């Protein structure tokens, strides 16, 4: 008696059918195929079933088991409801149905499409079916891509996991809300960077404090399973790449950033990076974690040429010191004694090279320069015109108010637009008699009232924007800001970045007694 292996498969697209059309369910496939095998007098060796697996996927567990058993020649026939249930990939059709199965003396039978490897005249039909099935997958992939891109452009989050610091809104999975516990770590990373820590030192700080990294945090709090590229991170340790990724992530501004990676082909499991100019970015879709001014300052500092000591430590003047001769950035160099102990650090021009003569630029001891800058800054902050700083702060606050109001107006406009789309859809359905008058009123009335409330809120917001500058007459914030710096006890990277644009170092005189140093202040 012939031994038959029955294979059933159901994919996600099959589950979208209504119950009346659902002839593809796993149970129905088993029932139909078992009945057919018994009619033929075949003995059922085993039923293999993969639920929610694509016909393109070579990692289907039951399918892989079937192939292994076929290699062992444990049965004589493979029976499926159709060739597409076995595979939707033309390459797999050729490999198994037309090459290996005949070699293993195994017959393949597809019940619904009459695929039968014992029928030699049936081969062209099987190949055509293979092409049609592959075209179907390609078309389906393109359609899904179009739907996903439309959602991305509408600002809908379609990822499986939210960026660290956010979580999916349980009432609307397409929206993000702040996860305050993780958001505090994000803010800490930005603060540490502004205080002069490099990515390496921030990494060590987070690991010393035993703060779980994003992958580990996801696993602990959300039961999230790490992707393959996250497995190494699941010990909970941070690394410099993760820290830099957080510092550059525009999602923390409240902007939805998606489409940064893609699969090169619907058959591929690998993903490749997409050029930044092709990313899909929608502004003001969720609450920001980082203020725009803070984020912009961090991006400026990231672009500046800085060099750490190899342990993530950047000196407080890093990126600010320029050669007065050629204009290049000056870098820290460590001078050691014969025992390998550090004598002192000094700065030299990045283009200085005795062999090429690109620049015979100056050098200066770092500790002496830092002491000089600190004294100059204390004097500067005592004598600086407070009116200049006050005007700059007012300008910053005005810009911030304008940005915030613009963000709120955009959110309100989007909500009004969404309500209008729903109202239009209800009116279209109502023309075909889908609702009774009472049902229609019950559905439309709340949307109309909500739109009226949103329009009033928008109108009040626009009115308040006109009067907002008057509130800036209060100088408490300005005084607090200036006094904070005037009471400076030590030089920090934050002070330097706030007030100094650059520091130029000239060459020493012939007697090495004097050296020209110019501090270019921002205000």
Which tokens go with 380? 């500067």
Identify the DSSP state of 252. G
The 3-class SS string of 98-116 reads HHHHHHCCCEEEECCCCEE
Residue 179 Cα to chain centre, angstroms: 16
- Given this model, what pLDDT does residue 511 score? 74
pLDDT at 230 over 60: no
Q: What pLDDT, in 10s, does the model give residues 330-379? A: 888 888 877 878 788 889 887 776 555 667 778 899 989 998 998 888 88
DSSP 97: I
Among candidate residues 305, 318, 300, the one with its CA nearest the CA of residue 351 = 305
- pLDDT for 246 equals 95
Cα gap 401→395, rounded to integer Å: 10
pLDDT score recorded for residue 328 = 84
What percentage of the chain exceeds 90 in pLDDT?
A: 21
Dig out the tokens for 323 from the structure: 């050669």
Say if residues 407 and 254 touch (Cβ distance below 8 Å). yes
With left for phi above 0 and alpha for psi between -120 and 50, is residue 284 left, alpha or beta? left
> Does 137 or 150 have the greater pLDDT score?
150
Res 407: pLDDT: 67
Contact 108, 86 (CB under 8 A): yes
**Beta strand pairing status for 342-349 and 363-365?**
antiparallel
> How far is C-alpha 110 from the geometric centre of its chain's CA atoms?
43
As a whole number, mean pLDDT of residues 494-499 equals 79
Residue 142 clears pLDDT 50, i.e. is over it:
yes
What pLDDT score does 13 carry? 55
Decide if pLDDT at 394 tops 50.
yes
For residue 21, pLDDT over 50 is answered with no
| Fold that domain 3-151 belongs to in CATH | Rossmann fold (3.40.50)
Eight-class DSSP state of 41: T
**Per-residue pLDDT, 398:** 55
Note the pTM of the prediction, 2 decimals.
0.50
Rounded Cα gap, residues 57 and 68, in angstroms: 16
Tokens linked to 314: 């950047």
Mean local confidence (pLDDT), 503-518: 84
**What does the pLDDT read at residue 474?**
44
CA 418 – CA 248 distance, rounded (Å)? 31
Of 211 and 497, the structure prediction assigns the larger pLDDT to 211
Mean pLDDT lowest among 118-122, 193-197, 271-275, 369-373: 118-122
What average pLDDT does the segment 222-243 reach? 65
Q: Which two tokens stand for residue 227?
A: 């992707």
Please, which contacts does 143-151 make with residues 24 or more away whose CB atoms are closer than 8 Å?
A: 149/259, 149/280
Q: In angstroms, how far is CA 404 from the centroid of its own chain?
A: 24
* CA separation for the pair 446, 333 (Å, rounded): 69
Report the C-alpha gap between 368 and 370 in whole angstroms.
6
SS3 (DSSP) at 331 = strand
Give residue 133's pLDDT.
64
Give pLDDT, residue 276: 83
In sequence order, the β-bridge partners of residue 172 are 169
Q: What's the confidence (pLDDT) of residue 401?
A: 52
Cα distances from 13 to residues 9, 131, 241, in angstroms, run 12, 19, 37
- Distance of alpha carbon 282 from alpha carbon 409, whole angstroms: 14
What is the pLDDT averaged over residues 19-33? 70
Any idea where the domains of the chain sit in the sequence? 3-151, 163-303, 315-415+473-523
- Residue 235's pLDDT is 63
d(CA 94, CA 74): 21
**Residues 34-83 pLDDT 10s:** 998 988 899 999 999 998 887 777 788 999 999 999 999 999 999 998 88
Q: Which residue has the higher pLDDT, 129 or 246?
A: 246
Q: If we measure between CA atoms, which residue out of 185, 210, 207, 189 comes closest to residue 198?
A: 189
Average pLDDT, the chain: 79
User: Is residue 372 helix, strand or coil?
Assistant: helix
Least confidently predicted of 19-28, 103-112, 496-505? 19-28
Q: What mean pLDDT do residues 93-108 have?
A: 90
Structure confidence at residue 471 (pLDDT) = 42
Contacts 24+ apart (CB under 8 A), 67-75: 67/96, 69/5, 69/45, 70/5, 70/96, 70/100, 70/101, 70/104, 70/106, 71/104, 73/104, 73/105, 73/106, 74/3, 74/5, 74/45, 75/3, 75/4, 75/5, 75/45, 75/46, 75/106
Q: Regarding predicted confidence, which is higher, 29 or 477?
A: 29
Collapse the DSSP code of 124 into the 3-class scheme (helix H, G, I; strand E, B; otherwise coil) and give the result. helix
φ, ψ at 51 (rounded to 5°): -100, 130
Q: Name the more confident of 440 and 305.
A: 440
Structure tokens at 41: 């007098």
- CATH for the 163-303 domain, from 3.40.30.10, 3.90.1750.20, 3.30.565.10, 3.30.390.50: 3.90.1750.20
User: What does the pLDDT look like over 175-211, one tens digit per residue?
Assistant: 999 999 999 999 999 988 887 788 888 998 999 889 9
Tokens of 401: 């108010």
pLDDT at 309: 54
């Amino acid at each position: 008696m012939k031994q038959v292996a029955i294979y059933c498969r159901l994919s996600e697209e099959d589950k979208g059918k209504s119950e009346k059309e659902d002839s593809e369910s796993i149970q129905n496939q088993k029932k139909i195929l078992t009945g057919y095998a018994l009619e033929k007098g075949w003995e059922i060796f085993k039923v293999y079933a993969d639920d929610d697996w694509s016909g393109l996927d070579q990692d289907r567990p039951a399918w892989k088991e079937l192939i292994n058993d076929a290699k062992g020649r444990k049965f004589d026939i493979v029976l499926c409801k159709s060739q597409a249930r076995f595979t939707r990939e033309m390459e797999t059709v050729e490999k198994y149905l037309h090459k290996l199965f005949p070699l293993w003396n195994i017959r393949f039978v597809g019940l619904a499409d009459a695929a039968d490897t014992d029928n030699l005249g049936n081969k062209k039909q099987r190949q055509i079916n293979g092409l049609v099935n592959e075209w179907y997958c390609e078309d389906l992939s393109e359609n899904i891509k179009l739907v996903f891109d439309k959602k991305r452009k509408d600002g809908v989050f379609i990822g499986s996991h939210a960026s660290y610091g956010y979580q999916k809104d349980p009432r609307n999975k397409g929206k993000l809300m702040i996860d305050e516990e993780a958001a505090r770590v994000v803010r800490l990373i930005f603060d540490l960077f502004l205080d002069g820590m490099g990515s390496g030192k921030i990494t060590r700080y987070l690991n010393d404090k035993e703060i779980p990294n994003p992958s580990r945090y996801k696993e602990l709090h959300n039961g999230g399973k790490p992707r393959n590229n996250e497995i190494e991170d699941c010990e909970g340790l941070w690394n410099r790449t993760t820290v830099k990724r957080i510092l550059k992530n525009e999602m923390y501004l409240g902007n939805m950033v998606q489409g940064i990676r893609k699969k090169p082909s619907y058959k591929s499991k690998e993903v490749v990076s997409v050029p930044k100019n092709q990313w899909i970015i929608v502004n003001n879709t969720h609450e920001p974690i980082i203020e725009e001014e803070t984020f912009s300052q961090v991006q400026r500092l990231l672009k500046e040429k800085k060099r750490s000591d190899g342990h993530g430590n950047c000196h407080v003047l890093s990126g600010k010191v320029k050669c007065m001769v050629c204009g290049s950035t000056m870098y820290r160099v460590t001078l050691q004694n014969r025992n390998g102990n550090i004598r002192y650090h000094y700065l030299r021009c990045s283009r200085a090279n005795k062999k090429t003569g690109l620049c015979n630029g100056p050098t200066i001891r770092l500790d002496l320069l830092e002491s000089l800058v600190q004294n100059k800054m204390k004097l500067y902050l005592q004598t600086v015109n407070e009116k200049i700083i006050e005007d700059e702060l007012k300008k910053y606050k005005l810009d911030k108010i304008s940005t915030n109001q613009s963000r709120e107006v955009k959110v309100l406009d989007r909500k009004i637009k969404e309500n209008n789309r729903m109202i239009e859809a209800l009116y279209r359905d109502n023309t075909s008699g889908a609702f009774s008058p009472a049902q229609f009123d019950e559905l439309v009335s709340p949307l109309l009232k909500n739109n009226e409330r949103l329009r009033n809120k928008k109108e009040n917001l626009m009115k308040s924007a006109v009067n907002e500058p008057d509130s800036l007459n209060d100088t408490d914030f300005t005084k607090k800001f200036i006094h904070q710096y005037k009471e400076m006890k030590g030089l920090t990277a934050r002070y330097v970045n706030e007030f100094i644009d650059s520091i130029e170092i000239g060459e020493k005189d012939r007697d090495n007694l004097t050296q020209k140093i110019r501090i270019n202040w921002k205000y």
